[in-house]
A and B are shown apart, each in its own frame.
Chain A
Amino acid sequence: DTGVSQDPRHKITKRGQNVTFRCDPISEHNRLYWYRQTLGQGPEFLTYFQNEAQLEKSRLLSDRFSAERPKGSFSTLEIQRTEQGDSAMYLCASTLAPLNTEAFFGQGTRLTVV
């Protein structure tokens, strides 16, 4: 297993367009997290899944954001009607709860909205 994989690594989009990111967690990991990191800040929690169930969403996750994990494996994060303020690094992490205490992160998708 090569770790958490995110695709694409970089995305440039025009304001108002929709974008979708994909995350493939480490095999057998039951929890999957999405974080957003803006320049000069630490990652901020957006949402997480336990298998296919979305168990928690941050208030940062506006109604333009939606995340899915349909079969409890990979996950997608969609942003509709992108705004310049959505420009950030979007990080995915996974873990096997309760066995693991730490999260394993992917390399992130850097979104630039122009």
Chain B
Amino acid sequence: AQSVTQLGSHVSVSEGALVLLRCNYSSSVPPYLFWYVQYPNQGLQLLLKYTSAATLVKGINGFEAEFKKSETSFHLTKPSAHMSDAAEYFCAVSDQEAGTALIFGKGTTLSVSS
């Protein structure tokens, strides 16, 4: 069975500060890992994905994440936060079979102050 744990339901940073959102996964098979962002009353938009190629994955809007198998982690980072980054962020895992259903974490709300 697969699961995702996002540490910290709320993260607050100042504009220009480093963003770090934590995600740990559990999977009995090699996983695909994803980060999605959700703005209020909207669907989910893919930020980036890990599909067993490079362990450091770069996504949209300056975000990146590193797959660390030994730590079963896939933390999301951005060097400098922008006000527009304020949103809900979800980490998700699926089997390494393209198109299988995603298992999501509970999400982390990112607040950015000026």
- Residues of A at the B interface (CB closer than 8 Å) are 4, 6, 31, 33, 40-45, 48, 56, 91, 93, 95-108, 110
Contact = CB atoms under 8 A, between A and B. Distances in A.
B44 A105 contact: yes
Interface in B87-107: 90, 92, 97-99, 101-107
Contact of A101 (B36, B41, B90, B98): B98
A56 B101 contact: yes
Given A42-B105, A43-B104, A97 B98 contact: yes
A40 to B, nearest CB: 7
Contact of B107 (A42, A93, A96, A110): A42
A5 to B, nearest CB: 10
Interface in B45-93: 45-46, 49, 51, 90, 92
Of residues A40, A43, A44, which shows the largest number of chain B Cβ atoms within 10 Å of its Cβ?
A43
